[in-house]
Amino acid sequence: MFASASARPTSALPASAAEAAEAAGWVQRNWETWAATGLRIVLIVAIAMVLRTVVRRMITRLIQRMNRTVTAVEDSALGGLLVNAERRRQRSAAIGSVLRSMASFVILGTAGLMVLGALDINLAPLLASAGVAGVAVGFGARNLVTDFLSGVFMIIEDQYGMGDTVDAGVASGEVVEVGLRVTKLRGDSGEIWYVRNGEVKRIGNLSQGWAVAGVDVRVPYEADLDRVREVIAGVGDALSKAEPFSEQLWGPVEILGLSEVTLDASVLRVAAKTMPGKALGVERELRWRIKRELDAAGIRMQAPLPGEEPADDAAAGVAAPSALANPASPQSAAASPLTPVAPQGGRR
């Protein structure tokens, strides 16, 4: 009995030793592969992090150089006319943010795929699943994607920026902030409009290039037009030499001629090329000075008569007569219900 009990541990020891030897041999055969794979993963991650840091710093330095250039131009004599510093800084910051995000996504995504490949993981099902998920997200969030892509191209193409006066169709006003998804506009009454970039189908920028200030001068029909032209020309010369209009005017004040002649008045068109966004102020000052000088010259300005306004058509809101309104018309007879026929009596 005691002999059989002592034989069991001796028989179990060789089995345990065999298993340990087999495990040690398996580890010895695979440790080089593990070490090589681990070193490859560490090397991939290290290179990805270093590359990401270098690329982000390069983008940051590029944006800083753009800002320094903007500051240098702003300090020059024409800086206030040619560059809106805050607009340029905002645009450069947005472009830098997009570039840094894209660089991080590409570098880290590539590094992740390389790590999975080093672990001998089949990437085909993963890529297929990612493609299906991307299509699903694209259909579900297509408005968000459209807004983002539209914002990126608006910023890159410099269609408008902070401080510009734009007409976006759905809203108009001064641009307060340009984002990748939403653009903020301040209306004429002070309201803030949040316009999604994907909803902007066309946009008119009133702050790029130059603007035109136009004023219509209405004088009586019997007024001396040569004298009126002389007075307006003097007003234009004085305005071009006065501050701050001497900087706002980018061309002489021109009298384009008669734009309208009626039985009681003549209308002269006056125009001048101005800085972007300054046309309204120049128009107001032109009206003020022209009115004052014409009064001093004894020339009365003619107001439009009330009879010249187009009268409202009283019949515009009246519908056309219908043929069904006449009970004798064929249309009315066809639409009226049929009269039931009384049954005739049978034979006896």
Above 60 in pLDDT, residue 343? no
Q: Which of 75-79, 174-178, 338-342 has the lowest mean pLDDT?
A: 75-79
Q: What is the DSSP string of 8-52?
A: HHHHHHHHHHHHHHHHHHHHHHHHHHHHHHHHHHHHHHHHHHHHH
Above 90 in pLDDT, residue 47? yes
Total count of residues recorded for the chain: 348
Above 80 in pLDDT, residue 68? no
> How much is the average pLDDT of 265-289?
88
User: If you compute the radius of gyration of the chain from its CA atoms, what whole number of angstroms results?
Assistant: 41
Residue 55 confidence (pLDDT): 92
Higher pLDDT, 26 or 156: 156
- Residue 118: how many CB atoms within 10 A of its CB? 16
Q: Which of 102-116, 119-133, 150-164 has the lowest mean pLDDT?
A: 119-133
Q: State the DSSP code for 178.
A: E
Residue 190 confidence (pLDDT): 85
Measure the N-to-C terminal CA separation of the chain; round to a whole number of Å: 131
Q: Is residue 306 helix, strand or coil?
A: helix
> How much is the average pLDDT of 87-110?
80
Above 80 in pLDDT, residue 115? yes
Crossing angle of helices 123-140/142-157, nearest 10°? 80
Q: Where are the alpha helices (DSSP H) in the chain?
A: 2-74, 79-82, 85-118, 123-140, 142-157, 225-241, 245-248, 279-296, 330-335
Q: Which of 97-101, 126-130, 162-166, 320-324 has the lowest mean pLDDT?
A: 320-324
pTM (predicted TM-score): 0.51
Q: How far apart are CA 272 and CA 142, in angstroms?
A: 46
Is the preceding peptide bond at 244 cis, omega within 30 degrees of 0? Answer: yes
Range ranked top by mean pLDDT from 62-71, 124-133, 231-240:
231-240
Residue-wise pLDDT tens digits, 141-172 = 778 888 888 888 887 787 887 778 888 888 88
Residue 90 confidence (pLDDT): 67
Check if the beta carbon of residue 207 is closer than 8 Å to that of residue 161.
no
